[in-house]
């Protein structure tokens, strides 16, 4: 399993210990609408906080474009808020991997925050 596949498996299972093993020690996360996170602990701590709003969620990776140590993944997110309201949107994740491809050095996520806010606010 590639590190990108392992990332999606860990996120979808909310397996935070597994997620923690996938990053370089000085990893960086740049997520849409959030301040950058640096270092494995800070990066991994971001995910349970964000996904707590979605008791049900799945990130489905789609098309991938790879060049050198970078992998771009089109992602479909589908989730349900605690209120039962469904939320769905498309995103793009850009992974910068270690030279041997076994760890994530940097992850940038991109999605339309205004569209997500409109869904959440009704």
93 near 73, Cβ under 8 Å?
yes
Strand partners, 57: 79
Give the residue extent of every domain in the chain: 3-121
CA–CA distances in Å: residue 5 to residues 1, 21, 24: 6, 13, 16
User: Which band of pLDDT confidence, cut at 50, 70 and 90, is reported for residue 93?
Assistant: very high
What does the pLDDT look like over 46-59, one tens digit per residue? Answer: 999 999 999 999 99
What does the pLDDT look like over 10-55, one tens digit per residue? Answer: 999 999 999 999 999 999 999 998 999 999 999 999 999 999 999 9
What does the pLDDT look like over 50-88, one tens digit per residue? Answer: 999 999 999 999 999 999 999 999 999 999 999 999 999
What pTM does this model have? Answer: 0.94
In this prediction, residues 92-101 reach a mean pLDDT of 97
Determine the pLDDT at residue 120. 86
User: Which band of pLDDT confidence, cut at 50, 70 and 90, is reported for residue 122?
Assistant: low
For residues 10 and 7, give the distance between their C-alpha atoms in angstroms, rounded to a whole number. Answer: 5
The fold for domain 3-121 equals: Nuclear Transport Factor 2; Chain: A, (3.10.450)
């Amino acid at each position: 399993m590639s590190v990108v596949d392992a990332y999606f498996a860990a996120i979808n299972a909310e397996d935070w210990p597994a997620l923690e093993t996938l990053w370089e020690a000085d990893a960086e996360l740049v997520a849409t609408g959030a301040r950058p996170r640096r270092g494995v602990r800070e990066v991994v701590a971001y995910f349970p906080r964000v996904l707590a709003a979605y008791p049900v969620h799945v990130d489905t990776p789609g098309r991938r474009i790879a060049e050198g140590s970078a992998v771009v993944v089109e992602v479909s997110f589908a989730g349900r808020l605690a209120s039962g309201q469904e939320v769905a949107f498309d995103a793009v994740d850009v992974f910068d991997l270690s030279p041997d491809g076994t760890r994530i050095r940097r992850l940038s996520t991109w999605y339309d925050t205004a569209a997500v806010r409109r869904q959440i606010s009704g």
